[in-house]
Amino acid sequence: MSAAPLVHVVDDDPDIRTSLKLLLSSVAIDAKTYASADEFLLQFKETPGRPAVLLLDVRLPGVSGMALLERLRMERSSLPVIMLTGHGDIDMAVRAMKVGATDFLTKPFSSQILLDRIQDALRRFGETAAPDVSLDEAAARLASLTPREREIFDHIVSGDSNKVVAVKFGISIRTVESHRASIMEKMGAKTLVDLVLLSVILKNAK
């Protein structure tokens, strides 16, 4: 019988750590919690063969979530990482995806969405964080964008909000939303995460 999945939670808020541990235990997922990146680094051990995920808050006292992510990737850890961010941290989350995060969630999020994302990451345990799309296919999708959509695509994956893009190009937010929907459809992306990962595939090929 395989071991129960394990989720590592790094967050400096004790209430969040407690609530996440209770939520995970309710669906038979073990959880270990840490108040800081330093505490995690002192206690963490890889669990070969046991599916595991790291829920990592972007903003932490001392070593930041981003710095911890970079260290894990430098050490070639296969641990999938889901970044937890505030609304003002989207640009940071996008950068985290480029460093190697598997996913990110913006606070506040529903329990069901979190569990869905964790299950998703557990299924991909041991794999690289990349969509099942070839470079040629990703390039073909990018080539299908209009010149304006391509410009907006670059801003979206860089973390700019619809409002920022609207001001940049002197268009309405509704127009940006329309372009964004078209970009998502043409790129075959269901979420912003998918879009960022496609951009990473294209960037790494350069």
pLDDT per residue, tens digit, the chain (206 aa), is: 356 789 999 999 999 999 999 999 998 889 999 999 999 999 988 777 788 899 999 888 899 898 999 898 888 787 889 988 876 566 776 777 777 888 888 877 889 989 988 988 887 665 444 456 677 888 899 999 999 999 999 988 877 788 889 999 999 999 999 999 999 999 988 777 778 778 877 776 55
Distance CA 100, CA 82 (A): 10
3-state helix, strand and coil shares in percent for the chain, rounded to the nearest 5: 55, 10, 35
Q: Which residue has the tokens 């829920």?
A: 55
- Phi, psi for residue 31 in degrees, rounded to 5: -140, 140
**Residue 206 CB-density burial (10 A; 0-12 exposed, 13-18 middle, 19+ buried):** exposed
Tokens of 50: 């046991």
Task: Give the C-alpha separation, 204 to 206, whole Å.
Answer: 5
pTM exceeding 0.95: no
CB 148 within 8 A of CB 179: yes
